[in-house]
Structure 1
Amino acid sequence: MRLQLALVALTAASAALVATPAQAAAHPVLKPGAKGKHVTYLQKALKARHYDPGAINGRYGQDLRFAVLAFQKVNGLKPTGTVGGGTWSALAHPRNPARIISGGAANRVEVSKKHQLVVVYRNDKVQLITLTSTGSGKRYCYKGSCSIARTPSGDFKVYRKINGVRHAPLGTLYKPLYFYKGYALHGSPSVPLYPASHGCARLPMRHTADLVFKIVPIGTRVYVR
């Protein structure tokens, strides 16, 4: 029931709030720290397009910034976090995220290492689009053993979830969803716009990581490309 309610909340956006070109010209430039009705409008518009702006509270905080960055990436805009005319206009005719596979399970998670994005699908429809930061490709060493920080590509599925914090040898994982060996989708306080992890797919904390944990059950297919 909780999963169904979460999915209903995510898909109840048929009357999406989006900016027309005229409205885009009327909207102010918004940056982190901004407050007011225009921020509320932006939060509602992004949520209607399956991004996660966090609480709809009229405050431009970290959750909204991550949502804006993801939206800008998907729509071919420079990901700055600043909402100007280009972003407002894109809200009128937003792009769908590029699929990284042909076919695949109807209920799935797609992890794009190229675009550093995660897209959650339910019944083959987008439920959530968010940023990720995958393996950095750099060499690292732990207890005398050295490896390259890579996120494996392939077709996997979620086989374990931990509803809390796991202190792993290479770092702290918030609400991890394991999809292959020790690799997981998990919340992290650091999700830059480039690959930076030891191999896991980082997710923004806390709101987005909480949401992914809620709407992605064990057994969900995970495609990494």
Structure 2
Amino acid sequence: MPVSAEAAGRPTLHYGAKGKSVKVVQTRLRALHYDPGAVDGRYGQDLRYAVWAFQKVNGLKPTGTIGTRTWRALGRPKAPVKLKSSPADRVEISKKRQLVVVYKGGRVRLITHTSTGSGRRYCHKGSCSVAKTPSGDFKVYRKINGWRHAPLGNLYKPIYFNGGIAMHGLSSVPLTPASHGCARIPMPHTANLLFKLVPLGMRVYVR
């Protein structure tokens, strides 16, 4: 059955679900350039992150529950709201929507959930600051293919675009902004994919 057909008759899926309907969602999200992880019919953390991103792009509350409205959206999906129209190769980080979108050749190649700076004050070794992801126009100047043990924590495959601010994998990527300023990316699968897609010198736009 096509995803767009008889959405009201499809089962409601929650985290932990298994079966053919889960595999349908995984296959569809992958085709739409989200990253649900392995297409294995198991609703795990990778799929939940992808569902959150999809629901946010489509104006739905990011609950992770795949009900009638999400099934309908899978049949008639919206494109992410563009922050810029050029260049053709770029990364867009939306702090409002907590999304990262990678464009290559003007086309979407990856849409992922993220968690940016919390806005809270923090102190480290006597120095205090506000956990803020800066808005602006940047470009990737450094990548580390592996773990970096930074002063504020461990970063998986960080992609630096503004001083010590990077997009990087982390095991915890909550729905709310929670980082010290970086853009957290689900790991390992999505962080690995992002690392492959984003080269040195690629433009990064944060809004």
Equivalent in 41, 57, 69 of residue 24 of structure 2: 41
Equivalent in 183, 186, 193 of residue 201 of structure 1: 183
CA distance in 2, matches of 1:29, 1:146: 46
Match runs of 1:152-191 below 5 Å: 152-191=134-173
Equivalent in 198, 201, 206 of residue 219 of structure 1: 201
5+ unaligned residues in a row in structure 1: which ranges?
Answer: 1-16
- Report the CA distance between 1:32 and its aligned residue: 1.0
Match runs of 1:27-38 below 5 Å: 27-38=10-21
- Report the CA distance between 1:92 and its aligned residue: 1.1
- Counterpart AA for 1:70: A
Equivalent in 7, 16, 19 of residue 3 of structure 2: 19
Q: Is the 8 A contact 1:18 1:45 kept in 2?
A: no
Equivalent in 57, 77, 80 of residue 94 of structure 1: 77
Q: Is the 8 A contact 1:52 1:208 kept in 2?
A: yes
Q: Is the 8 A contact 2:3 2:24 kept in 1?
A: no
Q: Is the 8 A contact 1:18 1:91 kept in 2?
A: no
Alignment-derived partner of residue 95 in structure 2: 113
Alignment-derived partner of residue 132 in structure 1: 114
Equivalent in 62, 66, 78 of residue 83 of structure 1: 66
- Report the CA distance between 1:45 and its aligned residue: 0.5
Describe the superposition over 1:56-97 as per-residue Cα deviations: whole angstroms up to 9, x where unpaired.
Answer: 111111000000010001101111101010100011110000
- Counterpart AA for 2:74: L
- Counterpart AA for 2:137: D
Alignment-derived partner of residue 72 in structure 1: 55
CA distance in 1, matches of 2:88, 2:114: 21
Pairing 1:55–2:1 present? no
Per the normalisation by structure 1, the TM-score is 0.90
- Report the CA distance between 1:43 and its aligned residue: 0.3
- Report the CA distance between 1:20 and its aligned residue: 1.6
CA distance in 1, matches of 2:101, 2:87: 13
Give runs of ≥4 in structure 1 deviating > 6 Å: none
CA distance in 2, matches of 1:176, 1:165: 8
5+ unaligned residues in a row in structure 2: which ranges?
Answer: none
- Counterpart AA for 2:4: T
CA distance in 2, matches of 1:100, 1:174: 26
SS in 2 for 1:155: strand
The number of equivalent residue pairs is 207
Q: What RMSD in Å do the two structures reach over aligned CA positions?
A: 1.1
Q: 1:157 to 1:110 in 2, by over 3 A?
A: same
Equivalent in 120, 123, 131 of residue 141 of structure 1: 123
